[in-house]
Amino acid sequence: MVEQMKEHAMGNSSETMRGVFAAVLTPLHSDLAPDHIRMAQHCQWLLANGCDGLGILGTTGEATSFSVAERMGVLEGLAAAGVPLAKSLPGTGAAAFPDTVELTRHALDMGVGGVLMLPPFYYKGVDDDGVFAAYAEIIERIGDPALRVYLYNFPQMSGVLLSMDVIARLTDRYPGTVVGIKDSSGDVGNMLAMIDQFPGFAVFPGSESAFLTVLKAGGAGCITAASNVSAPVAQRVYSAWVKSAEVDDDAQALLVALRAAITAYPLSAGLKALMARHFGDPGWERVRPTLTLLDEVTRDSLFGAVDQTSYRLPPMMP
């Protein structure tokens, strides 16, 4: 598995990240502070079970619900626990660009593989010039040739669309720095157009439903919430294609079934409930408001939907 990860994550001459990434959950203490130990265990379990890399502190990981200090503390806690941050793509986007600058500088100091960057997300209805200006301001203030930015397009949540025009301007102005995207828009046509128009640009769908289609077209992999549970299945799909240009139909069918079961419920709360059950650890369920716990009926319904597939989660690490 280690060799396989190296091949995927490091072996590509474009130097961009590749493979299956979980949008990693952030477990919480009872006071709602991030639990670095539980999270490090989860990261190691994911890396041992299908994940090539870790999309930590994204939407599924509740990043924007944490302060700058808490977000930096998570990276430090994971590093202290031995999680290889070079395989991680932490989210560093914030409503205020100085926060993104601070978080990104810190992430670079910690040796991450790149950062996943939301645009400032409070103001809605902003135009391409404003989105470009925000990214430009951030990148130039950081001013570090080691910076690798993966744009994070999730207009349904951020309220800000990263248009093809903005991506073209950013990759043109900052080649070697703006190197990829996680696209959670669900617009497969748009992802295929990016692969076509921006050579070497690493396109990660944010959903299993787009994964294989985009991978076949030259996509870099996927970064998905469901991979907290289903990464071993996603890895079967990924490896079959990357190594042999073959489609593992069984794995693909199971992956789509698992995604359908999981995404019918609130994502972070549902996935945390699944982890709590699997690890026998009720504390895993906690979320930060405005997110809420699943009620018992909903939780049972989610568990039933996942159990109806043939999939069983890999055992806990020793």
Interface ranges with a second copy (CB under 8 A): 32, 59, 64-68, 70, 94-99, 102, 119-124, 126-127, 129-131, 133-134, 137, 156-160, 288-292
Phi, psi for 222 (deg, rounded to 5): -155, 155
Cα 135 from Cα 131, distance rounded (Å): 6
Nearest to 120 by CA among 147, 140, 92: 92
Catalytic, 59? Answer: yes
Give yes or no: 182 in active site: yes
Number of other CB atoms surrounding residue 281 within 10 Å: 14
What are 287's two structure tokens?
Answer: 């979320």
Shortest gap between Cβ of 107 and a second copy (angstroms)? 17
Residue 92 annotated in active site: no
* Minimum distance of a second copy from residue 93's CB (angstroms): 9
Closest distance to a second copy from the beta carbon of 265 (Å): 13
Q: Which is nearer to a second copy, 129 or 307 (CB)?
A: 129
Q: Is 122 a catalytic residue?
A: yes
Nearest alpha carbon to residue 213 among 241, 236, 239, 181: 241
- Cβ-in-10-Å burial (0-12, 13-18, 19+) of 79 comes to middle
Residue 155 Cβ vs a second copy, minimum distance, rounded to whole Å: 10
Gap between the Cα atoms of 60 and 111, Å rounded:
22
Residue with Cβ nearer a second copy (244 or 290): 290
Distance CA 100, CA 140 (A): 12
- In the complex, minimum distance from the CB of residue 206 to a second copy, in angstroms, rounded to a whole number: 15
**H or E element, residue 205:** strand 202-205
Among candidate residues 92, 182, 224, 272, the one labeled active-site is 182
- Annotated active-site residue in 135, 150, 152, 238: 152
As a whole number of Å, the end-to-end CA separation of the chain is 17
Cα–Cα distance for residue pair 221/203, rounded to 1 Å = 7
How many whole angstroms separate alpha carbon 259 and alpha carbon 264? Answer: 8
Closer Cβ to a second copy, 100 or 309, answer by number: 100
Least distance from a second copy to the Cβ atom of residue 239, Å? 34
Q: Select 44 or 207, whichever has its Cβ closest to a second copy.
A: 207
- Of residues 98 and 175, the one with the C-beta less far from a second copy: 98
The residue among 3 and 31 lying less far from a second copy, judged by its C-beta, is: 31
Catalytically annotated residues = 59, 122, 152, 182
